[in-house]
Chain A
Amino acid sequence: MQTTARLDATFSALADPTRRAILARLAKGEASVLELAAPFEMSQPAISKHLKVLERAGLIERGRDAQRRPCRLVGKSLHDANKWIERFREFWEDNFNALDDVLEEMKKQEGKKGK
């Protein structure tokens, strides 16, 4: 059940575009709140709020350096989230099933033209 709660928190955290952008930035290396706030044109407190959500979801951790408290990605949560490769698969499966229909339609159209 704990894993379920954690995954729930992970996906809630991932649902926000600013937080995803923060994660994308952190994928390139650790950064301080100041460094994160700059490109987003957001206040430090606003960024800190997002960081708290990400930290609670276990997606990032903060360094101990009291001044800077650099943020970095935590691999494990993303790995857990990656179990959702299955969701990715289903998304494409739905698309490709629809593509089957489009191809059938194209074959019909071509058959008509051929006659």
Chain B
Amino acid sequence: MKKLTVTTDVPTEIHMTRTFNAPRRMVREAMTKPELVRKWMGNSRSPLSSIESDVRPGGRYRYVFQLPDGSTFAIVGQYREISDERIVHTESMEGMPGESVVTTTLTEKDGKTTLKIVMAFPTQEIRDMVVSTGMADGAGESYDNLEALLASSPQLSA
């Protein structure tokens, strides 16, 4: 199953799980090499406009996204740990408080790799805010369609 699951049971965390049909080393490479990352991260309305990253423990990275209105925002952080089965990095929106620690675990089985990502925030408020702003920013596309979605989403009018 390729389906992505996202859970928020722990009040200060977001957990994501997704399985890829490729060996672990390939998934890790695609997640860390800038020339590969730019092929999949971001979307048509909010593309990645630049990546600087120094992929080693203590190395910093900066991903800049372009928004539909021409402005940009950056996700910045530092790698803490990189091994075959684990990547740990910090992450925040540039200029905003509220850094999260993101632990990515890669497990390979029968040539497939399961990715488990745990994003840990300092407080629930910060987690909720990052999720909300992440929606408004990163998914600029969704924001544009917000009214239509609000009108068509039954769970929201409940």
Whether A78 lies near B129 (C-beta < 8 A) is yes
User: Does B10 count as interface, using CB distance less than 8 angstroms?
Assistant: no
User: Does A66 count as interface, using CB distance less than 8 angstroms?
Assistant: no
Whether A90 lies near B150 (C-beta < 8 A) is no
Interface residues of B in 3-26 (CB under 8 A from A): 4, 6, 8, 14, 16, 18, 20-22, 26
Once bound together, how far apart are the Cα atoms of A100 and B135, in whole Å?
A: 22
Whether A106 lies near B22 (C-beta < 8 A) is yes
Interface residues of A in 68-83 (CB under 8 A from B): 73, 75, 78-79, 81-83
Given A88-B139, A91-B138, CB of A78 within 8 Å of CB of B132: yes
Residues of A within 8 A of B43 (CB): 91, 94-95
Interface string of A75-105 (1 = CB under 8 A from B): 1001101111101111111111111111110
Interface residues of B in 111-145 (CB under 8 A from A): 123, 125-126, 128-129, 131-136, 138-139, 142-143
Whether B156 lies near A7 (C-beta < 8 A) is yes
Once bound together, how far apart are the Cα atoms of A56 and B37, in whole Å?
A: 39
Once bound together, how far apart are the Cα atoms of A23 and B122, in whole Å?
A: 15
Once bound together, how far apart are the Cα atoms of A15 and B26, in whole Å?
A: 36
Residues of B within 8 A of A75 (CB): 125
Which of B2, B20, B29, B132 is the one whose CB lies under 8 Å from A84?
A: B132
User: Does B56 count as interface, using CB distance less than 8 angstroms?
Assistant: no
Interface size class of A (residues with CB under 8 A): 35 or more
Whether A96 lies near B22 (C-beta < 8 A) is no
Once bound together, how far apart are the Cα atoms of A94 and B140, in whole Å?
A: 13
Q: Which residues of B contact A (CB under 8 A)?
A: 2, 4, 6, 8, 14, 16, 18, 20-22, 26-27, 29-31, 36, 39-43, 71, 73, 95-98, 123, 125-126, 128-129, 131-136, 138-139, 142-143, 146-147, 150-151, 155-158
Most chain B beta carbons < 10 A, residue from A11, A83, A87, A92: A87
User: Does A67 count as interface, using CB distance less than 8 angstroms?
Assistant: no
Most chain A beta carbons < 10 A, residue from B43, B95, B131, B157: B131
User: Does A107 count as interface, using CB distance less than 8 angstroms?
Assistant: yes
User: Does A38 count as interface, using CB distance less than 8 angstroms?
Assistant: no
Contacts A27-B98, A95-B43 aside, 16 further interface pairs with beta carbons under 8 A come to A4-B151, A14-B133, A15-B136, A24-B98, A27-B125, A84-B132, A85-B6, A89-B6, A95-B41, A97-B2, A98-B40, A98-B41, A100-B20, A103-B21, A106-B26, A110-B26
